[in-house]
Amino acid sequence: MTVPTTPPPAAGASRGASGRVGPAATPPPAEPGDVLLSVEGLDVDLAGRTGGRVRVLEDVSFEVPRGRVVGIVGESGSGKTMLLRALMDILPDGATRDWRRVVLDGRNITSAASRERLPAAMVFQDPMTSFNPLVRIGAHLVEVAQRFQRVGRRQATALAREALVAVRIPDPDRVLSRYPHELSGGMRQRAMIAMALLARPELLLADEPTTALDATIQAQILALLRTLQAERSLTVLIVTHDLAVVAAVCDDVLVMKDGRIVESGDVDRVFREPRHPYTKELLDAAPTEPSPEEADA
Ligand SMILES: Nc1ncnc2c1ncn2[C@@H]1O[C@H](COP(=O)(O)OP(=O)(O)OP(=O)(O)O)[C@@H](O)[C@H]1O
Ligand SMILES: [Mg+2]
C-alpha cells in the first residue's frame, strides 16, 4: 500500500475544470462501460412499527460506473439509509431484501451468502456507532486490518498507522492510543474513514458523513473523500441532505422519493435540466447561498 504524505487540499483550493473539489491531477477515466455496481429490482420490506410489513424500497435499479462519486438525495424517510444498508447487508432485524440481480466488482452477488466479505465499506454519520467507546482507536483499526487483510498483529498495526496517515491525521501514534471520545468530531470521522479503508473497499458508502460537523470541518472531510477517491480509484456513494455538497463533490446524483429512484444522472445535467417534478421541487427549495467551498473559491 502506498502511503500518501501530501496534506489535504484546502477546500476549494484545487478544483478541476468541472469546478468540483479534488486533486488537480485526476487519474485517467475508467474504461467506458466499466460498471462497478449494478443493482436491479431491489425491494426492501421492514416490520412496521404497528405490525405488518412496510415496503421502504421498491424496484430500485441503478448502475454506478467505477471511479464515480455518486450523491443520493431525497426527503427524510425516502429510503436513502436503507439503500446503503441493503447493499451492506446490515438491514434492521426483521427486514427482508429481495433483488433480481446485483453485480459488484464483476461478481454476481445476487444470492451471495449473508456476511460474505464484499469489497465495500461504509462510514456513518455518527462515528460513535462504529466505535466501541471502551476500545482504543488503535485496537479497532488493527482488528479490521487483521480481519480483512489477513495479516499478523505487527503488520496490522503498521497498516492501521498508514491508514491514519492516509486520512491526513497528523499524529497517528497519538490517535492510535486514544479512546474514541478523546478525539474531536472531525478527527473521529477521519479515524472512521481510516477504518473503512482498512477493509480494502472498491466501493465506499457514506451516510451523511458530515452532517454532525461544523461547516469548515465538513468541507475538509468532503475534500478528503474526494482525494481518497482519486488516490485509490474508489467509487463512492454518499447520502446527503445538502445539494451544495452534491454540486461540489459528486459526479452523478440519484434522487429518491418514497423508496424509489425518481431521477438519476450527471450532476450538471440534473441540476441544469431536472426532469422529474420532485427533483425540480428539491432544487427550488434549496438555499441559494454558496456552500463553504464555493464561498472560499
Ligand atoms: N428500524 C426501522 N424499523 C421500521 N421502519 C424503519 C426503521 N428505520 C427506518 N424505517 C422507515 O424506513 C423508511 C426509510 O427510512 P430511511 O432511514 O432509509 O430514510 P432516509 O432517506 O435515510 O431518511 P433520513 O434523511 O431522515 O435519514 C422510512 O419510512 C422510515 O420510517
Ligand atoms: Mg438516513
From the CA of 46, how far away is ligand 1's center (Å)? 9
Residue bearing the CA closest to ligand 1, atom 24: 76
Q: Are 227 and 23 in contact (CB under 8 A)?
A: yes
**Is the Cβ atom of 79 under 6 angstroms away from ligand 1?**
yes
Amino acid making up residue 158: A
Q: What's the N-to-C CA distance of the chain in angstroms?
A: 33
Identify the nearest ligand to the CA of 79 by its number: 1
Radius of gyration of the chain (CA): 19
Predicted structure pTM score: 0.86
From the CA of 245, how far away is ligand 2's center (Å)? 16
pLDDT the model gives residue 22: 43
* Separation CA 114–CA 111 (nearest Å): 9
Residue bearing the CA closest to ligand 1, atom 18: 79
pLDDT the model gives residue 292: 52
Identify the nearest ligand to the CA of 241 by its number: 1
Report the nearest atom of ligand 1 relative to the CA of 241.
Answer: 25
From the CA of 77, how far away is ligand 2's center (Å)? 7
**Is the Cβ atom of 92 under 6 angstroms away from ligand 1?**
yes
Query: If you search the block for the grid coordinates 496490522, which residue do you land on?
Result: 156
Residue bearing the CA closest to ligand 1, atom 6: 46
Report the nearest atom of ligand 1 relative to the CA of 79.
Answer: 18
Identify the nearest ligand to the CA of 78 by its number: 1
Q: What is the pLDDT along the chain (297 residues), one digit of tens a residue?
A: 333 333 333 333 333 334 454 444 444 555 556 999 999 999 999 998 888 899 999 999 999 999 999 999 999 999 999 999 999 999 999 999 999 999 999 999 998 776 677 899 999 988 888 899 999 999 999 999 999 999 999 999 999 999 999 999 999 999 999 999 999 999 999 999 999 999 999 999 999 998 888 989 999 999 999 999 999 999 999 999 899 999 999 999 999 999 999 999 999 999 999 999 999 999 998 876 555 555 554
Residue bearing the CA closest to ligand 1, atom 14: 79
From the CA of 294, how far away is ligand 2's center (Å)? 25
From the CA of 256, how far away is ligand 1's center (Å)? 13
pLDDT the model gives residue 14: 37
Residue bearing the CA closest to ligand 1, atom 29: 77
Helical ranges in 198-242 per DSSP H: 215-232
3-state helix, strand, coil in the chain (%, to 5): 35, 25, 40
pLDDT the model gives residue 134: 96
Report the nearest atom of ligand 1 relative to the CA of 49.
Answer: 4
SS3 for 162-187, per residue? HHHHHCCCCCHHHHHCCCHHHCCHHH
pLDDT the model gives residue 49: 81
Among 121, 160, 116, smallest CA distance to 142 is for: 160
Residue bearing the CA closest to ligand 1, atom 12: 56
Q: Are 103 and 144 in contact (CB under 8 A)?
A: no
DSSP state of 112: P
Q: Are 231 and 276 in contact (CB under 8 A)?
A: no
Best mutation site among 73, 82, 208 for ligand 1 pocket (most ligand atoms within 8 Å of CB): 82
